[in-house]
Amino acid sequence: MSNAIKYNDKPQGLIQIGYTEQDVLHEFYVRDNGPGIAEEDKSRIFKLFEITSNQSQRDSSTGIGLNLLKIIVEEQGGKIWVESKEGEGSVFYFQWMK
């Protein structure tokens, strides 16, 4: 959620948070209307110290947050991924076991 706020570049930022319940897990999502993520950056944003060229509206990026979330989610059996279109925003998903 903090990244959705920090990186939003629109005059009217929109953030939607929700989840769906599945058989053995919950699938959470955070959707925003920010700058989106370039296709070539999608595979690296979950790696330690990797950042995109998107400019933060608040503080600087360390490239730690998404990597830490990935480790926590995968450690308990879930997965994390992003769907994004440059200029239109992103949807980050992660699964959490029940």
- Kindly state the average pLDDT of the residues 6-31: 93
Q: Domain-by-domain residue ranges, the chain?
A: 2-97
pLDDT of residue 52: 58
What is the model's pLDDT at position 54? 55
How high is the pLDDT of residue 62? Answer: 66
Tokens for 21, please give them. Answer: 């319940």
Q: What is the pLDDT of residues 32-77, one digit of tens each?
A: 999 999 888 888 888 877 665 555 544 566 678 888 999 999 999 9
40: Cβ–Cβ under 8 A, 6 or more apart, which residues? none
Question: Considering the chain, what percentage of its residues have pLDDT values greater than 90?
Answer: 58
Q: What is the CATH number of domain 2-97?
A: 3.30.565.10
Burial of 50 (0-12, 13-18, 19+ CB in 10 A): middle
